[in-house]
Amino acid sequence: MLTKLTHWSRLKSPWILHLNTGACNACDIEVVAALTPRFDVERFGILLKATPRHADVIVCTGPATRQMKDRLIRIYEQTPDPKFVIAVGACAMSGCVYRGAYNVLGGIDQVIPVDVYVPGCPVRPDAVIDGVVKLLNKLKG
Amino acid sequence: MKFQIPIGPQHPALKEPISLRMTVEGEIIRDADLRLGYNHRGLEKLAEQKTWIQNIYLTERICGICSHSHTTCYVQGVEKLMEIEPPKRGQYIRYLVSELERVHSHLLWLGVAGHEAGFDSFFMYTWRDREIVMDILETISGNRVHYGINTIGGVRRDLDEQQVKHILDSLAILRERSEYYQHLGTNEPSFVARLAGVGYLSREDAIALCAVGPTVRASGVPMDVRKDDPYGIYGEVPFEVCTADTCDVLGRTVVRIKELFQCYNIIEYLLKNLPSGPVAVRAPRRAKPNEVVSRYEAPRGENIHYIKSNGTDKPERLKVRAPTLGNYAATIKMLKNGFIADVPLIFAAIDPCICCAERAVALVDARSGQERIISMNALKKLSRQVSAGNARKREAEWPL
Ligand code: SF4
């Protein structure tokens, strides 16, 4: 009963933490744009949170620079279970144009496990919403 | 009694994740120190391994808000190296996108400033209208943020009649909305009271510390590369350099709102006088050994690219000085003797970038060595509490 309830509430209000790990900012502003009136993700119960301790879903942008690696791991560990990671943008998926640069690890999945990949450079806000919805469907199933 | 406060490396008001160490005495900031390198990707080195054309798309991804600024700056330099001149129509379209980008960046910044000052409906309003500009950019270039419209020797896409009409129609809406914001700002005493007098930077300091863009213009220095050293078509376009002399965050807001209107005028001028002809010329694959410095007025200030060629199809060196870097020294000056609660606002005022939402400030108690972590939201609440105590000016003066 209780697990059913938590499962239900988890589906209804995924709180996200937005983390920039060396992105060029374009993906970041598109994630923020998804919160503003035109796209308005709050109608799905998606809320942007400021601290990892409140979040269910980490939305990562950027190719994971060397200096951000430890921080990324720390933030992942601070997020309470069950946690999910969405890699937003070509950078977070594979490194994008920065692939091969000396300070870039190339993709978030080199550092932490990723559940959903959202392609695009930058992603459209609708794609971010779609990614979160896909994740929710995955949880339902 | 002095405290040390590290902020960052993740902070929403800064372009790159950056770490800031502040020494405070009570509420007053006595000293500030910047640490860089969290967002370092090794882009300049990477540029040396890519061809001239590939580098356009690399420089575009230096920054997502002024992506067109970086490509234009780079492309201008490469065109000089290759000794080619893009056709007039190509130039008009290139700088049309520049001005549209400035509009989107300034609207974005206004929203961020509203958000940091605790005026969230302003944030939602401006970001709603920013979507109009994004739509225009999408119809011109096919993408919302990285337009990929520049190429060496011109632009990659042409405009047709319908697009011109669409832009002019949307411009009318934007103009109307911006007037509304101007009005809203003038008649919103708490907003004006929150911004006035925060982050003071005197005219002398602004010049001595090499501040750029709206930051220096808000200190009464009419410095704008578009006027001082006109590149491209700016020599023939009529526009004014907007300044303010309040030297604070309010002034920076005013400068940006005024610039919005100038941008609308420039865009209208460019569209009405759009010459006919081709949009690009063929560029050679190699550039002769030479070096060049290219300047460009990005939404945040002067952007400089230094490019060195060695006769191959790749640059030997590409050096980028983004406007934010020019403003760091001035930021430290602005932070000194300010309040902790004003930190988000002062940061936001030099560089509008709301890229990340998780933010933490650790307060280190110098006596006990204890660390206290407070979130940026708590800090903002604190900032509102501080400003709530301020006397409200009934008829707030807005130097517009
Ligand atoms: S995927 Fe593209 S737009 Fe997104 S952060 Fe990377 S380079 Fe920037």
Residue A74 lies in a domain: yes
User: In which band, very low, low, confident or very high, does the pLDDT at B350 lie, cut at 50, 70 and 90?
Assistant: low
Compute the distance from residue B24 Cα to the ligand 1 centre, in Å.
36
**What does chain B come to in residues?**
400
Residue A93 lies in a domain: yes
Domain positions in chain B are 43-357, 363-400
User: In which band, very low, low, confident or very high, does the pLDDT at B206 lie, cut at 50, 70 and 90?
Assistant: confident
Q: How far apart are CA B237 and CA B239, in angstroms?
A: 6
Burial class (CB in 10 A: 0-12, 13-18, 19+), B79: buried
Which of B100-104, B171-175, B184-188 shows the lowest per-residue confidence on average (mean pLDDT)? B184-188
Write the DSSP symbol of residue B27: T
CA nearest A105 in B: which residue?
Answer: B41
Range B131-139 average pLDDT: 89
Residue A104 lies in a domain: yes
Tens digit of each residue's pLDDT (9 = 90 or more) over B47-92: 888 888 888 888 888 877 888 888 898 999 999 888 898 998 999 9
Evaluate: CB of A62 within 6 angstroms of ligand 1. yes
Range A2-27 average pLDDT: 79
Helix (H) or strand (E) holding A124: none
Helix segments in B244-306, DSSP class H: 249-272
pLDDT of residue A124: 87
Write the DSSP symbol of residue A117: E
pLDDT of residue B12: 45
User: What angle (nearest 5°) sits at the alpha carbon of residue A67, between those of residues B2 and B341?
Assistant: 35
The 10 Å CB-count burial string (b at 16+, else e) for A115-136 is: bbbbebbbbbbebbbebbeebb
Which of A44-48, B9-13, B239-243, B351-355 shows the lowest per-residue confidence on average (mean pLDDT)? B351-355
In the numeric block, which tokens belong to residue B250? 């309010």
Of B269, B261, B299, the closest CA to residue B180 belongs to B261
- To the nearest whole Å, the CA of B77 is away from the closest chain A CA by 21
Q: How far apart are CA B100 and CA B299, in angstroms?
A: 10
Bridge-based pairing of strands A57-61 and A15-20 is parallel
Evaluate: CB of A31 within 6 angstroms of ligand 1. no
Highest mean pLDDT out of B166-175, B325-334, B356-365, B387-396: B166-175
Residue A5 lies in a domain: no
pLDDT of residue B14: 44
**Three-state DSSP class for B6?**
strand
Q: How far apart are CA A134 and CA B392, in angstroms?
A: 48
In the numeric block, which tokens belong to residue B176? 């109307």
Inter-residue contact A89 to A96 (CB < 8 Å): yes
Contact B358 A101 (CB under 8 A): no
Tens digit of each residue's pLDDT (9 = 90 or more) over A55-70: 888 888 888 877 778 8
Number of Cβ within 10 Å of residue B326's Cβ equals 22
In the numeric block, which tokens belong to residue B58? 């690399």
Inter-residue contact B338 to B355 (CB < 8 Å): no
Helix (H) or strand (E) holding A5: helix A2-12
Helix (H) or strand (E) holding B244: none
HSE-CB of A29 using CA atoms within 13 angstroms: 28
Domain ranges, residue A25: 14-140
* Smallest CA separation from ligand 1 atom 8, residue: A24
Contact B146 A26 (CB under 8 A): yes
User: In which band, very low, low, confident or very high, does the pLDDT at A43 lie, cut at 50, 70 and 90?
Assistant: confident
User: In which band, very low, low, confident or very high, does the pLDDT at B8 lie, cut at 50, 70 and 90?
Assistant: low
Q: Which residues of A touch B43 (CB under 8 A)?
A: 98, 101
DSSP letters along B92-125, please? HHHHHHHHHHHHHHHHHHHHHHHHHTT-HHHHHH
Range A85-91 average pLDDT: 88
Q: How far apart are CA B178 and CA B107, in angstroms?
A: 9
Range B151-163 average pLDDT: 88
Query: Which one has a higher pLDDT value, B325 or B235?
Result: B235
Residue B243 has pLDDT above 50, yes or no: yes
pLDDT of residue B352: 38
Domain count, chain A: 1
Q: What's the whole-model pTM score?
A: 0.84
Compute the distance from residue A122 Cα to the ligand 1 centre, in Å.
5
Contact A22 B39 (CB under 8 A): yes
Inter-residue contact B121 to B154 (CB < 8 Å): no
Evaluate: CB of A26 within 6 angstroms of ligand 1. yes
**Three-state DSSP class for B178?**
helix
Q: How far apart are CA A74 and CA A47, in angstroms?
A: 22
Indicate which CATH number applies to the domain containing A41: 3.40.50.12280
* CATH homologous superfamily, domain B43-357: Cytochrome-c3 Hydrogenase, chain B (1.10.645.10)
Evaluate: CB of A60 within 6 angstroms of ligand 1. no
Burial class (CB in 10 A: 0-12, 13-18, 19+), B4: middle
Residue B9 has pLDDT above 70, yes or no: no
**Three-state DSSP class for B226?**
helix
Compute the distance from residue B197 Cα to the ligand 1 centre, in Å.
37
Tens digit of each residue's pLDDT (9 = 90 or more) over A93-103: 888 888 877 77
Mean per-residue pLDDT of chain B: 77
